[in-house]
Chain A
Amino acid sequence: MTKSSDSKISIQNPYEPWLAEVEKITKEVGGARAIKTYKLVLQDEDAKKNFNFIPGQCVMISIFGKGESMFAISSSSTQKDYIEVSVMKHGKTTTALHEIEEGDIVGLRGPYGNNFDVKGWEGKNIVLIGGGIGQAPLRSVLNYILDNREKYGTLDVVYGARTSKDICFKEEFTELEKRDDVSVHLSIDVEEEGWEKYVGFVPNNLMEVKPSSENAIAITCGPPIMIEYVIQNLLKLGFNEKQIFTTLEMRMKCGIGICGRCNIGNLYVCKDGPVFSYEQLKGLQGDM
């Protein structure tokens, strides 16, 4: 089912998912914008063995009878036995996903789309800039880098949420802050009692952090408006268009470039994306 010809997985019908067991559900954020992380294990041993992805890629998750949606894989590809997706409750499928329990079965197909060039970025300093649930694909890169820490230069993680309660992967950030080989810069949008870190929007926090553009790659994901200002600020900090990457989302159905809806210009986000450099993005002419 993967695009590469060396894959041994041969599912005749690309629309038909494998079954995956929900091994663990982690509540990341509660309330109206609830976020949960699902640890999924493929049931079919062959499928499990041959499921290979690279950070940045996505999977289609089905709740049978409710629907199917595309999600960025939020776990690192260094974890071979499972994948994780982190989902904000927002529409029909995600609401159904938020109702399932550990041990339940979902449909899974993929991986789809292009990826972050993590191999090509070895030796570089990495800056990750996330907002809200936009941290999901960045978490995949982050954990990949941590598992291959010696291959990369400095690692800055800039992340912000609306309130402290909306911070995704909170425990992981706490653990991360203890490490001396990662700099974590958290922020919340409005002031809160007990919050001693930065207060303000992510693009502003980025200007406080002032990461050096030298030999660096910046990856950003979050709400569209945040991405826009983060990119502007990265340019101000001296990053060029080839050093800035983001990952886009669109409404998707087939996930394999046939059903038509996720195009930006002549490219399909599902197949040709979701990862775009700012250089590519600037050259794209289409509805976003």
Chain B
Amino acid sequence: MENLVIQTEKLSEWVNEIIKKNKVFAPVKETDFSNFKIVNDYSEIDLSFLLPMVPAKKILFKQTETLFLFTPGSKGEVKSKEISDEKLVIFSIRSCDAKTFSILDPVFLGDYVDPFYKKRRENSILIGLSCNKPNVNCFCTSFGDSPASRDYVDILLTDLDGKYLVEIVTERGKKFIDDYKKFFASASKEDLESKEKVEKLAIEGITRKMKLEGVSEKLGKMFEHPIWYENAMKCIGCGTCTFVCPTCHCFDMQDESTLREGARIRVWDSCMYPEYTHHASGHNPRPARMNRVRNRIYHKFSYYPTNENIVGCTGCGRCIDYCSVNIDIIDIINEVGEAKL
């Protein structure tokens, strides 16, 4: 589709125009990391961190969500929760975070449709930002993706030093950008070549490689392999890997109520906790950390590929970055590839 450019000094003006009509989520600095937050002015945005700590999935699949309201007790009544129709813009989303949604779509929009996710998915415009300088644990290229991928966003920005290349990827993106024509000029051949250079450099900057060939099939034969015991030894079961993961979608449902009013709330949960699967009878199908570590890996690299024909990992590297005991998912998968059966 159309390729445009915007001068870097105009970017703030454009974004501020977007803010006037949309709820805009963008990376905001918090102590020594950034996170996606609602911004009211461009000045709040900080693009100096490659990845916000918590992935952009939290915007569509909120960490806490009221599912419906009720009157507590034995004469209960239910009141539906209205789902806001507001227009959302996720600004500066990286390709690994944007890919999240193509992985989560079959989960939330499958046999049963999650109305909260659906509404926000339909109402959000993804404005991507190419990665000029990937992190040390980035590995999106292992999945055939690129740090400057156009695949999962509506509009893709690439920093060309002094200006941004603005690639319109989808029809929705085109419709969206039409409102802001005055900020853009057409991109030249040189601009597109510059982007290619940026992309090439970024790809070269990714040094880590997850070898995925045959892994899904091989996992089918490795359920009882000692590798799971070995890798779970270090794990302290904190669950951080699941909370910073762009594709983890497990949740808990809890009732919160006072005497007169209540709500059923959905909150992110983690398969790394024993309570997650603990039956009322006392039985637990995943009682040991080994079971839980194994299930996490299998879910992403065996069950997802089997059920949805896609690997449940985007290569963002957060679970490696934030693991307090240095468990490394790339090493585990590569170990699977090398393991003798």
Contacts and interface: CB of A to CB of B under 8 A. Distances in A.
A165 interface: no
Nearest to B282: A90
A4 to B, nearest CB: 11
> Among the interface residues A16, A65, A286, which one has the most CB atoms of the partner chain B within 10 A?
A65
B77 interface: yes
B205 interface: no
Interface of A: 3, 12-19, 62-69, 90-92, 94, 100-101, 104-107, 224, 249-251, 253-254, 256-266, 271, 285-288
Interface in B280-331: 280-281, 283, 285-286, 291, 295, 298-299, 302-303, 306-307
A90 B307 contact: no
Contacts of B307: 266
Contact of B74 (A18, A100, A271): A100
B255 A65 contact: yes
A287 B295 contact: yes
A253 B74 contact: no
Contact of B115 (A13, A104, A261): A13
Interface string B265-291: 010010100001111110101100001
Interface of A is mostly: loop
26 contacts: A15-B266, A64-B255, A64-B257, A65-B73, A65-B76, A67-B254, A68-B264, A92-B280, A101-B74, A104-B74, A104-B75, A105-B76, A251-B277, A253-B251, A254-B251, A257-B107, A257-B110, A257-B112, A258-B108, A258-B251, A259-B252, A261-B271, A263-B295, A287-B277, A287-B286, A287-B291
A280 to B, nearest CB: 15
Interface stretch (B64-72, B178-186, B229-237): B64-72
A69 B255 CA distance: 12
Contact of A65 (B115, B249, B253, B262): B262
A253 B77 CA distance: 20
Contacts of A258: 107-108, 110, 112, 114, 249, 251
Nearest to B72: A65
A250 B277 contact: yes
A90 B70 CA distance: 24
A266 to B, nearest CB: 4
Contacts of B112: 3, 14, 256-258
